[in-house]
Amino acid sequence: MSEAAETGLFLDGLRCAGCGHRVERTLQEAPGVLEATVNFASHRARVRFDPAKTDREVLAAAVEALGYTAIAYDPDSLERPALRAARTAQVRMLVAWFLAGNVMLVALALYLG
């Protein structure tokens, strides 16, 4: 057996702790994986594996088969997904403000008769 390698994956698309558990279980069942842990709060997975039996691309493909995006963990490369998430949150907030404003105008018209 060759020496174990370790890799980190950033998991985009996790919505709940159950999603994290599902990814963790899938990684643990992958051939050549010695240990896999998923942290839902940080959206990160840490995987120890036998490089003779599998590699990072195979692990990422297993995660992506579940419908999530797996990106090799590099703090510098994680800036783009974080910016995209912030932009999505801003758009959602603007839509919510617009819709709430319209509801308030309708309610004001009802109160004033």
List C-alpha distances in Å: 94 to 72, 99, 101, 104: 32, 9, 11, 15
Average pLDDT score over the chain: 90
Task: Specify the pLDDT at position 79.
Answer: 67
Stretch 47-75: mean pLDDT: 90
Number of structural domains the chain divides into = 2
Q: Is 80 exceeded by the pLDDT of residue 2? A: no
Same domain flag for 52 and 96: no
Query: Could you tell me the CA-to-CA distances from 81 to 34, 37, 78, 88, 100 in Å, in that order?
Result: 28, 21, 6, 10, 28
12 shares its domain with 49: yes
Which has more pLDDT, 79 or 104? 104
How many Cα atoms sit within 13 Å of 43 on the Cβ side? 19
Q: Are residues 58 and 107 in the same domain?
A: no
Same domain for 69 and 103, yes or no, is no
Percent of the chain with pLDDT over 90: 72
Domain co-membership, 27 together with 53: yes
**Do residues 17 and 50 share a domain?**
yes
20 and 70 fall within a common domain = yes
* Full domain range(s) for residue 62: 5-77
Specify whether 48 is located in the same domain as 65: yes
- In this predicted structure, the answer to whether residue 52 has a pLDDT above a threshold of 80 is yes
Q: What are the tens digits of pLDDT across the range 75-87?
A: 666 567 778 888 9
pTM recorded for the entire structure: 0.64
Distance between CA atoms of residues 76 and 55, nearest Å:
22
Same domain, 65 and 14: yes
